[in-house]
Chains A and B, each alone.
Chain A
């Protein structure tokens, strides 16, 4: 999975390029431009039914389809990994409908569509990061009525969100929200960063790449332009803290990265490995090895 996958375009014969019709793309493109002009504001759009169920990333797919061109190189990740079901299915969808090059290497990609992670490698200004968003409204579980949440955004009335975080502290002694941790964008809109772990929140701040968010079922698109201020909500006496791991990645030994827990047997043994599969592979290729891994360079030498 490390080299670029050669792809064959059959778009001309079967589908319009990138599946969507041109009018739909124009509508989505106009929505994206509004989203960029008002960072963090959820712009309504006429999301189409896609040939995959809601919850599979129909919003992200529509955003990617409106942005992608024939010279793009696409990377598709699901919880940081290039080879889990959602990533493979959606990558194949774009290979079939556009014929673009795909890659698993973060640095080679011009568009990265992600389900719930931001790659560990720093993104650059020529890249676009597209998030799949299930519930775009950060206030939805506090106030179910769209008419009311819309007013709350209009009036910048975000007290309820702070009450929710305060209740976390009252109950658990700390802010227990670990994913979909609300952020304030450019001092104006409170935004749901999609269910990324809060570990990734600091990466959104001043990121060089353009970040686009698509929610298909909820019919919303929002955006964070490059170099935009993104602050995780917190309190002076309970400042925002990222998740810390007690041990490094078991395979590549990386520290200060987001780790997945893998159960090894019925006796409760487990290991922690990088959630970003490309980052882990790169490190192993460079000779790094964790306490449960083997050094691929030495293994080759022994042959």
Chain B
């Protein structure tokens, strides 16, 4: 221990979290709430001065810092789980316990669409407690409100066009199966560069052929 200097300790310290933990978390939550209440709409986040370790995006990090704590078992995709820097960052700021099994997770953080396991491997809740399910935070490059699939259901007046890129293989088909489980099922919050969008289990998905 005697060889450690203050500067070497600071060099290993996790990067800072939300600059204003109270108000930043509130505004990120409002965006996430509006995203799930108006599925398929792209909600812009405030300009958060976050500098998370790669490959975490600002939006995904903001969601994790806003929603996760010691009460929420968190599943990380293999790329994130392999990075001690990422794990230290999340552990330091949220104290969320990491879990190996997707079925045990309250939240799943997925940095790359290719690394998303089968949606059915996450927890869908139980008939008596459909709230005991996993919420997936999925990092994507692009979120748009046009030229994609068509969403219908609570939160949408008639129908909503929605597209994300990249999309995991067979993702929309899996989400169709997921909504067939309603009121059970998982919910997805997409995290773009600085935007979020929501896809709760209550939404019916059509237009995959296009």
Binding site for B on A (CB under 8 A): 16-17, 22-23, 25-27, 29-39, 41, 43-44, 66-70, 125, 150-151, 153-155, 186, 188-189, 206, 210, 223-229
User: Shortest CB–CB separation between residue A18 and chain B, in angstroms?
Assistant: 8
- Known A-B contacts: A25-B29, A188-B182. Give 8 more (CB < 8 A): A35-B131, A36-B37, A37-B202, A38-B200, A66-B29, A68-B26, A69-B27, A69-B30
What residues on B are CB-neighbors of A66 within 8 Å? 29
Q: For chain A, what secondary structure do more than half of its interface residues adopt (helix, strand, loop), or is it mixed?
A: mixed
Establish whether residues A188 and B33, one from each chain, have CB atoms under 8 Å apart when the complex forms.
no
| Closest residue of B by beta carbon distance from A185 | B154
Establish whether residues B26 and A227, one from each chain, have CB atoms under 8 Å apart when the complex forms.
no
Q: Roughly how many angstroms separate A16 CA and B133 CA in the complex, as a whole number? A: 30
Binds A, one of B6-14, B67-75, B141-149: B67-75
| Closest residue of A by beta carbon distance from B65 | A26
Q: Roughly how many angstroms separate A16 CA and B23 CA in the complex, as a whole number? A: 11
Establish whether residues A228 and B128, one from each chain, have CB atoms under 8 Å apart when the complex forms.
no
| Closest residue of B by beta carbon distance from A224 | B154
B66 at the interface (CB under 8 A from A): yes
Establish whether residues A34 and B131, one from each chain, have CB atoms under 8 Å apart when the complex forms.
yes
Sampled A-B contacts (25; CB under 8 Å) = A17-B22, A25-B29, A26-B25, A26-B67, A26-B68, A27-B69, A29-B29, A29-B66, A31-B131, A34-B131, A37-B187, A41-B130, A41-B183, A44-B129, A66-B29, A69-B26, A150-B129, A151-B128, A186-B154, A188-B182, A210-B33, A223-B37, A226-B157, A227-B155, A229-B154
Establish whether residues A227 and B29, one from each chain, have CB atoms under 8 Å apart when the complex forms.
no
What residues on B are CB-neighbors of A227 within 8 Å? 154-157
Q: Roughly how many angstroms separate A255 CA and B166 CA in the complex, as a whole number? A: 54
Q: For chain B, what secondary structure do more than half of its interface residues adopt (helix, strand, loop), or is it mixed?
A: loop
User: Shortest CB–CB separation between residue A150 and chain B, in angstroms?
Assistant: 5
Q: Roughly how many angstroms separate A39 CA and B200 CA in the complex, as a whole number? A: 10
| Closest residue of B by beta carbon distance from A206 | B157
What residues on A are CB-neighbors of B123 within 8 Å? none
What residues on B are CB-neighbors of A125 within 8 Å? 38
Establish whether residues A226 and B183, one from each chain, have CB atoms under 8 Å apart when the complex forms.
no
